[in-house]
Each structure stands twice: as structure tokens, then as C-alpha cells.
Structure 1
Amino acid sequence: MASKKVQKIRDKRKARVRAKISGSTERPRLSVFRSSKHIYVQAVADNEGKTIAHSSTISDDVKSKITDVKKVEAAKEVGRSISRKLRDMGIQEVVFDRGSYLYHGRVKALADGAREEGLKF
């Protein structure tokens, strides 16, 4: 678990990021959560307070494709998966919410995977 100092830094960073962005039904917020083993992403319409779509490394459609791959490659596949789901719903643009995580590694790979499938942000 992160130390109190690290957690305080993460909380400040998350608040700073969230103060600047907000999602809508037409352009939802793509929120990322990263654990030590998995990565989760959800498209949130903040004006309605609802999750429109979600994907993660434990989702059935992604899990079958990521056997024996590195976590960065798995994150890229999660990005592709959420992009396909949103494209099927007719959503082309989102607002990317990295949360308290730096735009590096798995978070960046997820964003790159979503962009590869045509999602704009």
C-alpha cells in the first residue's frame, strides 16, 4: 500500500485533474482505475451520473485475448475494447480522465489502444 505522503500526492493530483474535466452524454469522461494486477476503464456521463460503458482486464471479451501477455499490452487491449463499445453506441469523442495516475505506462497504453480504434480525445 502507498505511504501517506504518496497517497496525499495522488489525491491532490486527482482533484486537480477532475476539476478541469467533465463528461456528458455526447462526450463522456473515460475514467481509468489501475490496480497492481488489472486495469479498469469506464465511460461516465457526469450530467446523468451514469456509466455508459466499461471494460477491464477481467472482462470476458478482453480476458480471452490477453492470455500470457504483459500488463502494458493488456491495457492496450482494454483501450481497444472500450473504443469498440463506444463506437457501436455512436460515440466518437471522449474526455480522458487519468485520475491520480501519471500519463505513463499502462495508462498511456490504454489511451493509445483507444486511439488506434478511432476514439478521439
Structure 2
Amino acid sequence: MPTSRDLIRLGVIDRGSAERAVAELVQADDPPSAVFSSSARASMLLVPALQHRPMALVSFGDFPMAESLTPPVCAVAQDPEEIGRRAARLILQRLGQTGGAHAACRDEVLPVRMVERASCRQPSAL
């Protein structure tokens, strides 16, 4: 499914920007049924903005407050220790290569897991 730029909101940094982002999404011709947040901070700001709205919420990156919020926030959890191990290994490999910092870059894909909580469901399903 192609990404619609009309559904992307950047700059959720405070309560007002979260409210505006949600209001804009709700008023779209074809409003989304869920919001995917790229940070714990944005997710915490979106929870009150989404109350009484027919949208689910998923956060990228689990965070300690996720279970304490109302509703508890569904998250795509990462393994920070494994991210650190891989980053250190890649840095050491790159330092050992000829070409140093200009050596070829590559993508690393790490597994994630879904932590399902109540915010994954639309309010009507709760």
C-alpha cells in the first residue's frame, strides 16, 4: 500500500501540536483508523489527543510509561542491547577497513516484537 503524504504529521512536540495533528487527520477525506507514532514522547502526547476519537495508537519503541497510560499504549518493541552490540561491531569493522569512515554503508535489520495493549484497538472495540 503506498504511503499518502496527506496522512503524515511531523512536529508533535507538545500538547497543542498533538491536538492539531489529530484534528487534521480526523478531518481528512478518508481519515485513518490508527496513528503510528515514531517516538515515546509523541505517543505520550497523542494519548490525550486521541481520547474520544475513533483511532487506535501504536508507538515505535516501547517505553516504561506505556502500560500506565489510559489506554495502555501498544508498541513495536526493540532490543536496545542488541542495537548497541551491532552498532559497536559495525563501528569496529568500519575502523578496521581501508577507506575508514568512507567505507561502504549497509543496512542492518533487527527483529522487533509487537507488544499489544488496549490502544491497538479502536475505542469502539474497547
**TM-score normalised per structure 2:** 0.32
Q: Which is greater in Rg?
A: 2
**TM-score normalised per structure 1:** 0.33
| Higher strand content, 1 or 2 | 1
Higher relative contact order (CA 8 A, sep 6+): 1
